[in-house]
Amino acid sequence: MATVLIVDDAEDISFSLGNLVKKEGFTPVIAATGNEALAILKTNIIDLIFLDIGLPDINGIKLIPAIREIAADSDIVMLTGRNEAKSAVDSLKAGAVDYIVKPFELIEFTTSLNRLMQSRLASKMAAIQSQKDDDSTMIGESQAMQPVKEALATAAEVKSPVLITGETGTGKELAAKAVHQQQTNKGVFVKVDCGTLSANLIESELFGYEKGAFTDAQASKKGLVEIADGGTLFLDEIGNLPISLQPKLLRLIADSTFRRVGGTRDIKVSVRIIAATNNNIEQQVANGHFRQDLFYRLNVIPIHLPPLRQRQDDIVLLAEYYLHYFNRELKKNIKGFTDIARANLLSHDWPGNIRELRNLVEREVIFCKSEWLQFQGDSPLTGKGEDNVQMASLAELERKHIANVLKACNNNKSKAAEILGITRTTLRTKTETG
């Protein structure tokens, strides 16, 4: 939750402002002196600071540079006296975003508070959720998806770490977003790809750095962990997290604290951790490539997404869903799949899982010229693609193909025989003899 620091030595003022902050739904923290304020800023993430000018130990304006040094991202609002017009200007020059002249009406305070909080939230959202969530519906009615649905619902009720496993394209990221979305007080969703950056880059990306931590560090910078405070941190490809960084993540999960690179102070955050991997992470633990203690910490709520080939009942459902989706996106009006197209969908193995299905439907919708979608001649589904050699016997393929065509035709044998180009009698013989 967003936190507001009130720095004022007049106890009655800070007490009533603290109450207002609470009433508006934020967390108040109070300091009576400049030094107290700096100490608080060192160990807490503060969004907004209301800063009195006449503090017992230092002039409020003089404190601004020191605050900027520690908490570069906090917004400062100055509380100035009636005859301090010059101070107001000076404080804005020093880096405050606004000022309120004392004595002020409480409404002035709450207006300033809410306005700044809203603009902070808006820019945070814009930075993080730049990807559109327009097709984030999770489709799946098959038997294999039932335990997944249950685990997702459980995960949404608590804040414990979640570990999502599954082959590429099975929907791990979508599942992570679903858990996040279903939460009350969800905050922001921040994704970190642990697979693409070097150990050093991931460390500063994740945990931020202090000024002077390395040659280029001219100013301190918040990491994604801090940005995710109050929300969800999605650690994608966790299996690729360098072993040197694993203790730091372990500590973050175990006691919600971490240090920026080059930092000496512990920073406390409240983040919900969801990790995902398509590696066999237990194997990695056995090989010594992934810490066992971290694995246990992450694997509190395990969610395994089954491959699409084990979700036969969902294939057509998903294909129809994406057909409608791309009809809308591409302003097409395709009515559905031909029976042959359905049979093709069902007999394919889907090594790329749902992503492969989605991409294929998109491509076919683009090129489809008729009312009903039939896969193009060079589609991997029509079996003419060169890299689609299935290592199975002819008899096996025939059996599978017949079963799929029958299923696609709702077991209408005449229709299936027609599609297969054989008589009903031949079809009967083939299905009876296996």
Question: In the bound complex, what is the minimum distance in angstroms from residue 318's beta carbon to ligand ATP?
Answer: 6
The residue type at 334: I
Decide whether 172 or 260 has the Cβ nearer to ligand ATP: 172
Residue 362 contacts Mg ion per CB under 5 A: no
Decide whether 66 or 138 has the Cβ nearer to ligand ATP: 138
Question: In the bound complex, what is the minimum distance in angstroms from residue 172's beta carbon to ligand ATP?
Answer: 3
Cβ-closest position to ligand ATP: 171
CB 71 within 8 A of CB 46: yes
Question: In the bound complex, what is the minimum distance in angstroms from residue 350's beta carbon to ligand ATP?
Answer: 11
Question: In the bound complex, what is the minimum distance in angstroms from residue 153's beta carbon to ligand ATP?
Answer: 15
Decide whether 13 or 144 has the Cβ nearer to ligand ATP: 144
The residue ranges that bind ligand ATP (CB under 6 A) are 135, 138-140, 166, 168-174, 278, 318, 354-355, 358
Secondary structure element (H or E) that encloses residue 236, with its range: strand 232-236
Decide whether 100 or 354 has the Cβ nearer to ligand ATP: 354
Question: In the bound complex, what is the minimum distance in angstroms from residue 234's beta carbon to Mg ion?
Answer: 9
Q: Which does 231 bind (CB under 5 to 8 A by kind): Mg ion, ligand ATP, none?
A: none
Report how far apart the first and last C-alpha atoms of the chain are (Å, whole number): 63
Q: Which two tokens stand for residue 236?
A: 């994608």
Question: In the bound complex, what is the minimum distance in angstroms from residue 183's beta carbon to Mg ion?
Answer: 20
Decide whether 4 or 238 has the Cβ nearer to Mg ion: 238
Q: Rounded to whole angstroms, how far apart are CA atoms 53 and 91?
A: 9
Question: In the bound complex, what is the minimum distance in angstroms from residue 278's beta carbon to Mg ion?
Answer: 8
Local structure of 240: helix, strand or coil: helix
Decide whether 177 or 221 has the Cβ nearer to ligand ATP: 177
The DSSP symbol for 211 reads: T
Q: Which two tokens stand for residue 122?
A: 């808006």
Q: How many residues bind Mg ion (CB under 5 A)?
A: 1
Decide whether 193 or 398 has the Cβ nearer to ligand ATP: 193
Question: In the bound complex, what is the minimum distance in angstroms from residue 354's beta carbon to ligand ATP?
Answer: 4
Question: In the bound complex, what is the minimum distance in angstroms from residue 160's beta carbon to Mg ion?
Answer: 21
Q: Which of residues 379-398 bind Mg ion (CB under 5 A)?
A: none
Decide whether 76 or 192 has the Cβ nearer to Mg ion: 192
Alpha carbon distances (Å) from 246 to 27, 34, 238, 243: 31, 37, 10, 5
Residue 356 contacts Mg ion per CB under 5 A: no
Alpha carbon distances (Å) from 382 to 154, 234, 344, 389: 41, 38, 7, 12
| Angle in degrees, CA 262, 73, 79, rounded to 5 | 130
The residue type at 20: L
Taking alpha carbons only, the member of 198, 271, 263, 289 closest to residue 235 is 271
Q: Which does 140 bind (CB under 5 to 8 A by kind): Mg ion, ligand ATP, none?
A: ligand ATP
Question: In the bound complex, what is the minimum distance in angstroms from residue 296's beta carbon to Mg ion?
Answer: 23
Alpha carbon distances (Å) from 318 to 153, 172, 247, 290, 336: 21, 16, 40, 35, 12
Residue 173 contacts Mg ion per CB under 5 A: yes
Q: Is the dihedral of CA 23, 24, 25, 28 positive or negative?
A: negative
Q: Rounded to whole angstroms, how far apart are CA atoms 252 and 271?
A: 9
Decide whether 177 or 260 has the Cβ nearer to Mg ion: 177
Local structure of 219: helix, strand or coil: coil
Q: Which does 355 bind (CB under 5 to 8 A by kind): Mg ion, ligand ATP, none?
A: ligand ATP
Q: Which does 135 bind (CB under 5 to 8 A by kind): Mg ion, ligand ATP, none?
A: ligand ATP
- Which are the contacts of 414, defined by CB distance < 8 A and separation ≥ 6? 424
Q: Which does 272 bind (CB under 5 to 8 A by kind): Mg ion, ligand ATP, none?
A: none
Q: Which does 354 bind (CB under 5 to 8 A by kind): Mg ion, ligand ATP, none?
A: ligand ATP
The residue type at 256: S
Choices 42-50, 150-158, 167-175, 286-294; region in contact with Mg ion by CB under 5 A: 167-175
Q: Rounded to whole angstroms, how far apart are CA atoms 185 and 25?
A: 11
Q: Which does 38 bind (CB under 5 to 8 A by kind): Mg ion, ligand ATP, none?
A: none
Decide whether 265 or 328 has the Cβ nearer to ligand ATP: 328
Q: Which does 399 bind (CB under 5 to 8 A by kind): Mg ion, ligand ATP, none?
A: none
β-pair partners for 275: 163, 235
Q: Extract the runs of DSSP E, i.e. beta strands, from 1-106.
A: 3-7, 27-31, 48-52, 75-80, 98-101
- Contact residues toward Mg ion (CB under 5 A) are 173
